[in-house]
Amino acid sequence: MTEENTVTVTLGKTEQTVVDSIEKLTVVEANNVAKYFEEKYGISAAAPVAAAAGAPAGDDAAEEKSAFNVVLKDCGAQKIAVIKIVRELTGLGLGEAKTLAESGGMIKENAKKAEAEELKKKFEDAGAKIELE
């Protein structure tokens, strides 16, 4: 018996315009916006995600997780190899892929467990540090 709490939020015209603009951003651009808010206002987009992931009760919560965010933490010494993988997976241009590889950030959201582990191995084989959130 699962009880779901759903909240419907109605956005005004200005708010909807902002949301529409954010949805059109590339991964690198969205990462830059998140970093800006972290620096400017001291808030982090990662904290609510981590709290939401920890919400299920019981010790089996980690085992039940089926979707993971693949986050690049450090590109390591083989930066060119990592940039190639980033380009292959995200479709970003060379400059954007280089920026993402150097600064780190979200590579893939809501990847199934097997895919997330495969991506992690691929990056780690190239010398990068990856986190599955």
Where would I find the H helices in the chain? 13-23, 27-41, 46-53, 61-64, 79-90, 94-103, 113-125
**Tens digit of each residue's pLDDT (9 = 90 or more) over 13-32:** 888 888 888 888 887 777 77
Residue 28 neighbours by CB under 8 Å, 6+ apart:
92, 96, 99, 100, 105
Query: Which H or E run includes 131?
Result: strand 129-132
**Tens digit of each residue's pLDDT (9 = 90 or more) over 39-67:** 777 776 554 444 444 555 555 544 567 88
Spatial distance between the Cα atoms of 53 and 29, rounded to a whole number of angstroms:
24
Q: Which CATH architecture group holds 13-54+66-132?
A: 2-Layer Sandwich (3.30)
